[in-house]
Chains A and B, each alone.
Chain A
Amino acid sequence: MPSEGIIGVLNDLWIHYKDQTSLKLKLIDAYLGYIMVTGIIQFIYCCLVGTFPFNSFLSGFISTVGSFVLGVCLRIQSNPQNRSQFETISPERAFADFIFAHIVLHLVVMNFIG
């Protein structure tokens, strides 16, 4: 039964995700989803009306992409299952890095937005 195959796999994945993932990681995932949606909407707008003014589009898009990347970093570093790879970086330190990088990113974005 083909439908059961793919949908079944996805369903299992979803249930597994809901149960196994800690709250903190789910929060970060929700945040990442939000960032991605924002980026997609910006991209659709650009496709519709063209790239003028290009600097504004770039700054907005890079803001979403940068935030997404930083969010992913935070998620990786906060996941206790990855602890072995990140011995020296505590989740708090990961969060501090996250905030600092965001501050720098947004300064640049605001400069470029025009």
Chain B
Amino acid sequence: MGPVVVLLLLVGYASAEIAPSLGDVITSRDQTRLRELFRKTPIDSLTMAYYVSNGLRILGEQDNSKKQICSYIQQHTPDSTSLDTIFYATSVDALYDCEVSYSSFEKSLKDSLKSERNVSELFYIVSSLTNIGSKVDQKLLSPSKLLDLAEQEESILSYGQAFLTASLLADGDLTSLMDTVEDVAVQADESPTSIYFEGGLETTSTAITGIVRLGTKTGNRPTLSALQATLFGKYFLSIKYTETVSEAWYVLQAVEALAHNKFFVPTGVTLVNRLPINIHNQKLEVHLTNILNEPVPPSDIKLVTIESSSGDKDTINKSFTSESDGITYSYLLFPQVASPGGYKVILSTEPKTASPVAQLVHVELPVIVSFSVVVESAEISIIERDQNVAVKTVPLQYPTTSQDELSADQHSKVKMTFHLLNKQNKEKVNVHQTFVRLVSANKEEIYFVATPTNIGIYTFELDLADAAKEFFNSQSGTYEMSLIVGGMSVENPFSWHIGSLNLKFPGTPRDDTSEELEYRYKPRPEIQHLFRAPEKRPPTVVSFTFAVLVMAPVVLLVPVWLLLGGNILNITLSGPWAIMFHVGLIGIFGLYYLFWVQLNMFQTLKYLIILGGVTFISGNRMLRQIAKYRSA
């Protein structure tokens, strides 16, 4: 997406807005599937009646379900306290004209406009009134009130509903609402391929539909670029496979708005089919449509470049031919591009007349050019291992199976060579898959690969002495040999039964032991999760003993001090400060003990500041007194 944005900035086309291709659309298959989804849904609520009726309308089919839905809404009157049910019922009636009258709700709806309502309720009220044919003018509700409410509610869904409601009002100045479109649009979240609003499908669908309806009502282009419209379109396309009716409805509602507006119509170039191009299928066909698979005004589609898988680029710059159905464009690719392989074609579209349809400058589509492969000059030989002399050589003819009996044992090598050619131009080619398959009498298969020594010239060599144990389990017998050829560009992949090989190995085949069979074919033993074993701790006795031992020396220290003649009694001589100092100090260490067991650092520091201050001051005074006492 990044390069596309840069492209848009660099190339400022004034005529049509540039946007990327949608890459995918609601195809006719998708529309059939969605029609089935709506048709199969039981109509068991007014909500469902609304979704199904309007969904089928967008899909171009409404008459089939009309009777069923009409009978439902005739039998179920909406709950006058639930504004949404009134909205659903009146919408269905406005669409189908089911001979039900909802004019009894008109007065209560208009009255409810007088009290405080949120945007969602206003949307239901105004839509219902419009559905029953009653005009709502700005005396009842002004667009600026809607904008204020949406700004207060601060949700994109509210803005979307405000846009929808405002576009239904009979009059009023909508410029301030139009001005907010740009700010609303930038709030979209980005995904690797699309943009969408954080609220999800309902929010994004309501917002986009609201923006389009607002523009249609005012006749002015809302500030949403073609790029943004396309990226929103891609978001809706990512949900098109839903099996939920409400989601399908929201997707269709938004997609219809994007397809049927006069401002920004996202367009998509899609391949008609994925068939490879070759001599039987020479035309590359694409569809150019809007998001609902409908035709867009005629455009000039150019094939700009063809890029091969090896990176070679060919600039073509020729136009596609438009077909009569209005959406298909074709280009005769073969034999201009005849070399088999995978390609990337790059297209550009330009609308021939001014239209809201975007201009696509860089559309990449994958194309495969395929060919038919033939095998020629195939032969198989049994070679004497020691002397490297071919003992027997048998020519092979594709696709027939050779009837020759070929035998080999551990003294020989089996060698097969063949050429692969493009059927059309007889050039030698390499393909992706060349397998040699050997099947034993017990239906055991062994696969080998034939490798090319030169382009198109393949060899397969099997040294039986080496391969005996590893591949064949020393199992002698007759093996059926086949050559399997295939590849991405190969139109006619085949498996060619070449013939039978009689192989003789020394030794006996080794059967799987019962243990191996157990291991391979029976459930494995359950692995019990081992929680991490806690670290080994010493026994409590030991650690307790040492705890006591560590604290023991204090018991020795005090007597030693006393013995030496320390004067504990002299404390009082130093005055009250000394006592306070000692108390403070003991308090600090008590605080430290509390810190260890209970407090956290912040609390400790808090108390420490208080205690420390006391201790410091008293200690200071005490020492001063001692100093005075000493020098006196």
Contacts and interface: CB of A to CB of B under 8 A. Distances in A.
Interface in A45-98: 45, 48-50, 52-53, 60, 90, 92-93, 95-96
Given A34-B554, A41-B550, A95-B623, A106 B535 contact: no
Nearest to A39: B550
Interface residue tally of chain A, by bracket? 20 to 34
Contacts of A38: 550, 553
A52 B536 contact: yes
Given A41-B550, A107-B604, A34 B564 contact: no
Contact of A41 (B542, B549, B612): B549
A45 B546 contact: yes
A96 B619 contact: yes
B365 interface: no
Interface string B247-268: 0000000000000000000000
Interface class of chain B by DSSP: helix
Contacts of B557: 30-31, 34
Nearest to B631: A90
Nearest to B589: A106
B556 interface: yes
Contacts of A50: 536, 538
A111 interface: yes
A15 B122 CA distance: 105
Contacts of B615: 99, 103
Contacts of A52: 535-537
Contacts of B626: 92
Nearest to B616: A100
A27 B596 contact: no
A63 to B, nearest CB: 11
B566 A27 contact: yes
A111 B564 contact: no
Nearest to B597: A110
B170 interface: no
A30 B550 contact: no
A95 B556 CA distance: 23
A110 B595 contact: yes
Contacts of B589: 106
Contacts of A93: 623
Contact of B612 (A45, A95, A103): A103
Interface of B: 535-538, 542-543, 546, 549-550, 553-554, 556-557, 560-561, 564-566, 585, 588-589, 592-593, 595-596, 601, 604, 608, 612, 615-616, 619-620, 623-624, 626-627
Given A23-B566, A41-B546, A103-B588, 9 more contacts: A27-B564, A30-B557, A38-B550, A92-B626, A93-B623, A96-B620, A99-B585, A106-B589, A110-B593
